[in-house]
Amino acid sequence: MNKFDLDNRVSVVTGGAQGFGFAITERFIQSGAKVIIWDIDKEAAEIALKKINSKKCFYQIVDVKNFEEIIKNLNDIENKHGKIDIFINNAGIAGMNTTVVEYPLEEWNKVIDLNLNAVFYCCKAVVPFMLKNNYGRIVNIASIAGKEGNPNASAYSTSKAGVIGLTKSLGKELALKNIAVNCVTPAAAKTRIFDQMTKKHIDYMLSKIPRNRFAKVEELASLVAWLVSEENSFSTGAVFDLSGGRATY
């Protein structure tokens, strides 16, 4: 493993108790950072903490769809750890696999609220903390679906396309600051999000990947570790593909 230097960095990973988020948390700890896991699932957060078994790992139960709750927990982190250097917007859901015509309005709003609105809330809330310290790294976990649009996954594809647009806008707004804002667009990986998808949809996603396998969570964590390091001093507002060859632009 290449170790990127994250010593003395304070980081937050939303949805950090499982899947991509857990792999990112683990990699950050190995690289020297403090990590505060944000998750809605207390049991999963406690299990993650036991697995990582580090005095540098903590958790808060946070509903990232609630702006006031986000602000409160960020203030708590700053009071306890002195600063916030890194923020990873990872929490998300797949939503139903069905056509646009048949997509329930309530389900659409549920997906957009967590996958897009919550990312906006977290970015809006955390940037002032980073501006105070003249340092910050934000990475938003989007999806290749946000670039290409998967059939029967309109809410998910739309939410991830929105995350890409938000990343580009915020990256440009902060370009003259020592704050980098980037996003990653991975192909699917075998995480618990698959439990929300039909087998037909999972098979479709695999068929689109030239490497003929799903992404590994460790591969995403490796890329994110570089993106949040000081070595990434120039790229901002950028989209980094992790699609096994699927991406065409």
Q: How confident is the model at residue 242 (pLDDT cuts 50, 70, 90)?
A: confident
C-alpha distances in Å from residue 14, one per residue of 45, 70, 142, 154: 11, 11, 13, 23
* Residue 226 forms part of a structural domain: yes
* Residue 4 forms part of a structural domain: no
* Residue 23 forms part of a structural domain: yes
Residue with tokens 């310290």, as numbered in its chain: 133
Q: Do the Cβ atoms of 23 and 13 come closer than 8 Å?
A: no
Distance CA 178, CA 130 (A): 9
* Residue 3 forms part of a structural domain: no
Q: What is the mean pLDDT of the chain?
A: 93
Residues 6 or more apart in contact with residue 204 via CB below 8 angstroms: 150, 151
Distance CA 11, CA 228 (A): 9
The total of structural domains in the chain comes to 1
Looking up residue 102, the CATH number of its domain turns out to be 3.40.50.720
Structural domain including 135 reads 10-237
pLDDT reading at 192 higher than 70: no
Residue 156: active-site member: yes
* Residue 249 forms part of a structural domain: no
Distance CA 91, CA 16 (A): 8
Candidates 103, 156, 204, 249; catalytic one: 156
* Residue 106 forms part of a structural domain: yes
Instruction: Kindly state the average pLDDT of the residues 149-176.
Output: 97
* Residue 2 forms part of a structural domain: no
pLDDT reading at 132 higher than 90: yes
Q: Which residue has the higher pLDDT, 198 or 41?
A: 41
* Residue 221 forms part of a structural domain: yes
Q: Residue 191: its pLDDT value, please?
A: 63
52: nearest Cα among 88, 34, 18, 26: 26
Assessment of whether the complete model's pTM goes beyond 0.75 = yes
